[in-house]
Structure 1
Amino acid sequence: MTKVNTSKEKSVVLTFDDGPSKILPSILDCLREENVPAIFFWQSRLLYDKRPWKRVLEEGHQIGTHSSKHVNLVNLPYENQLKDIKQSVEQIEGITGQPVKFFRPPFGQYNDDTIQIAHELDLKPVLWRISSMDWELKGNPGLIINNVVENLEDGAIILLHELSQTLEILPDLIEGIREQGYQFTLL
């Protein structure tokens, strides 16, 4: 899935990968202030009980898995992929008490085994339509905004990361998306 079908016209989905990170509370502050929902794809090895996962759910966001160890799954045999993805789902569900429904493979890389495992575990694979390239543009935050705003389309899933440069531009990014007539939705 790279786009979401919604009854809301001109809607996009903000997604954040590679957390939960130390800046998650600040990202949540911004999203709450702007009244924007998001989905967070987390590496389960970074999730422990003291992370603000309850706040994520209480504020109406979604949590998906981004694997356990963030390895390129296509380089692993079926059994190792299954172990990593299943472990990630079990860890997230064990801490949050909520079922994990969405899966984003690390680096957006997958093969037939990855998709088969996702289906076996009742996970919906989610990629993205628009990449902000935020992980590469630490020194040029304006380009992060441009990468998104100049490529908007209805239903687009937008790839962001839990990074300081993303937090820095997040209010302006949200404003830029809204100025193009888009609203925010979930998966």
Structure 2
Amino acid sequence: MEDYPQMAKEIVKRGHEIGLHSATHPHFTQLSVDEMKKELQSNRDLVKKVTGYNAKLFRPPFGDYNNTVIETVMEIELIPVQWSVDSLDWKEEYSAEQIAQRVIDQVDKGAIILMHNDGKHTPEALEMIIPQLQQQGYSIVPVSDLLIKDDWYVDINGVQRKK
């Protein structure tokens, strides 16, 4: 965000959501509640300062969470989000074709696909994934469109469920 502020602004301008992921990429289960809040608030403040966007979503680094993490995130009015399909696009040894096939094979209705903006083959993989999923009848939507808005909880697998 600090290195590419114009890109971040353009992402927001084009109508995309920005979710928080932390300021320093720690394992949140190893932080105190105060450390978590500081980490999240500094990240939220930076996004707001650079883009004017008020981020509402948070995905913990490494998918590392427990009840305390979820409760803390919700206490500061963020919505915790996990993924249901890991593309493994961060692994340089995976080709764009392997990443695309992995995603296409695992995707299901309501899937949240984990991908990284710095993956070596991510752009090329997305060029294969998006048309294939659209051909199968899927729509690419903002994460917030997939979320249950009222009376929900996060199960042991990180999946949001209706109470």
1:80 has 2:35 as partner: yes
Q: Which amino acid aligns with 2:120?
A: S
CA displacement at 1:139 relative to structure 2: 3.9
TM-score normalised by L of structure 1: 0.70
User: 1:93-127: CA deviations, max 9, x gaps?
Assistant: 12222211100000111122211221111111111
TM-score normalised by L of structure 2: 0.80
Measure the CA separation in 2 of the matches of 1:154 and 1:139.
Answer: 25
The answer (yes or no) to whether the contact 2:5–2:50 under 8 Å persists in 1 is: no
Measure the CA separation in 1 of the matches of 2:14 and 2:46.
Answer: 21
Q: 1:86-125 to 2 correspondence within 5 Å? A: 86-125=41-80
User: 1:130-156: CA deviations, max 9, x gaps?
Assistant: 111111254422111111101121111
Unmatched 5+ residue regions in structure 2?
Answer: 145-163
Unmatched 5+ residue regions in structure 1?
Answer: 1-45
Aligned to 1:140: 95
1:161 has 2:116 as partner: yes
More strand per residue: 1
**More contact order relative to length (CA 8 Å, sep ≥ 6):** 1
1:171 has 2:127 as partner: yes
Measure the CA separation in 1 of the matches of 2:32 and 2:108.
Answer: 36
Count, aligned residues = 142
CA displacement at 1:47 relative to structure 2: 2.8
What is the RMSD computed on CA atoms of the aligned residues? 1.6
The answer (yes or no) to whether the contact 1:103–1:124 under 8 Å persists in 2 is: yes
